[in-house]
């Protein structure tokens, strides 16, 4: 199992296997670090390698691995 899968699953609220800007926005609110919709959309664009507008587990893992 991917080492980031558990964290990814917590963020993927609708369990569709992808993280949307809306899910990221809700996560940040829950963490007490609210961001604007524009900031959430920009974050998704930065991580979205295939251009589908959402973050897959692979893209999420790639990003987290690169920040180590």
Residue 2: pLDDT band with limits 50, 70, 90: confident
Q: How far apart are CA 13 and CA 68, in angstroms?
A: 25
What backbone torsions phi and psi does residue 31 show, to the nearest 5 degrees?
A: -75, -5
Could you give the domains of the chain?
A: 5-66 (1.10.238.10)
pLDDT at residue 67 in the model: 86
Rg (CA), the chain: 11
Quote the Cα angle for 36-49-19, to 5°: 50
Digit-coded pLDDT (tens) for 7-18: 999 999 999 999
Residue 36: pLDDT band with limits 50, 70, 90: very high
Q: Does residue 1 have a pLDDT over 90?
A: no
Mean pLDDT for the chain? 95
pLDDT at residue 68 in the model: 79
């Amino acid at each position: 199992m991917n080492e980031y899968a558990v964290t990814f699953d917590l963020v993927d609220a609708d369990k569709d296997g992808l993280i949307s800007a809306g899910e990221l926005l809700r996560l940040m609110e829950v963490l007490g670090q609210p961001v604007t919709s524009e900031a959430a959309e920009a974050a998704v664009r930065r991580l979205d390698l295939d251009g589908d507008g959402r973050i897959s587990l692979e893209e999420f893992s790639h990003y987290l691995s690169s920040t180590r």
